[in-house]
Structure 1
Amino acid sequence: MTGIVLRDIHQPPAPSWWPPAPGWWLLVIALLTLAVAWWWWRGRRDRRRREIAALFDRAVDAAETPAGQVAAMSEMLRRAARKRDASADRLQGEAWLEFLDAPVDRAKRRRNMPAPVFVQGAGRLLLDGGYRRDVDAAEANALRVLARRRFLQWMGAA
């Protein structure tokens, strides 16, 4: 036994990190696909929001007088109301204003009750503002902010 020299077992070198295994390539491709799909969906949603807001703004800006603007806002709100309730566009008077003040979903109603801006606030101008001879431009602008916000909420763009 004098001629044999014993040595430790030699381990093979550790595998290199590049190129990765096929499973990692599949994971990268799946993540890139999800990122591109999310980016496309988000761009589509933002484009839709801008188009809906522009639709409201064009309709209101087309009116020459503040009374015409109030009438245009009322028309746009009634069109959007059909999306929530098929018979909502036929509501009149206080019932219409209460419908405008109703929260978009019940969960938000429990968290915070919105102020009745249409029944008691600037939104009351919708009742007869489109029929008046003279409407104050400041009142029409205050109504525009409220009506635009409600229109965007109902159209799913807010």
Structure 2
Amino acid sequence: MSANLPLRDVQLPPAPSWWPPAPGYLMIGGAVLLALLVAAFFWWQRRRRRQRWLQLFDQELATVTDPTAELAAIAGLLRRAARQAQPGSESLRDDQWWQRVDPQGTLAASRRSLLAEGAYRPHVDAREVAAVRSWARERYLALLLERRR
């Protein structure tokens, strides 16, 4: 070696670029994106199914104008949903029926008597019918969701 050669310090290579990421990161990102798409699809399907059930409930009651007939239609819809959730529950009567439809007892006894089978209702307050309808809509959806579990 010649003494005339200049000494040079060690030079590091340039820093690697952050883009494009390594293939492993791309695969992880793709898997996460795919999982999010699958979760969004199932969420959308569930939401659509719920909306369809509630539309059917509302359509069934939209044809009824008489409050007494509306209460009978609500009771029929609840029976149908209970039968779909647990076959054989349509034959239940009185307390057994209410244990199936309203296990937590969220409906008041006065409103519960409005839905009783064969009950005589000469004059029904429209606000009471609206409250029963609102409660029945929620329970109808809950009963149909029980079927899916």
Percentage of identical aligned residues: 35
- The reply on whether 1:143 has 2:144 as its aligned counterpart is no
Gaps of 5+ in 2: none
Residues 54-101 of structure 1, C-alpha deviation per residue, up to 9 Å, x if partnerless? 111111222121111111111110111123322211112232223222
- CA distance, structure 2, for counterparts of residue 14 and residue 126 of structure 1: 76
Q: Which amino acid aligns with 2:138?
A: R
- Give the secondary-structure state (helix, strand or coil) at the position aligned to 1:12: coil
Residue 17 and residue 11 in structure 1: after superposition, are their counterparts in 2 closer, same or farther (change >3 A)?
Answer: same
| Contact kept? 1:70, 1:129, Cα under 8 Å | no
SS of the residue corresponding to residue 7 of structure 1 reads coil
Query: Does 2:18 align with 1:29?
Result: no
> Contact conserved, 1:53 with 1:152, CA < 8 A, in 2?
yes
Q: Distance in 2 between matches of 1:41 and 1:130?
A: 42
Aligned alpha-carbon RMSD (Å): 2.4
Q: TM-score, normalised by structure 1?
A: 0.78
CA distance in 1, matches of 2:47, 2:119: 32
- When normalised by structure 2's length, the TM-score is 0.82
- Identify unmatched segments of 5+ residues in structure 1: 103-113
Q: Give the aligned partner of residue 120 of structure 1.
A: 109
Paired letter, 1:27: I
* Structure 1 match to 2:89: 88
Partner of 1:99: 100
Change (3 A) 1:12 1:33: same
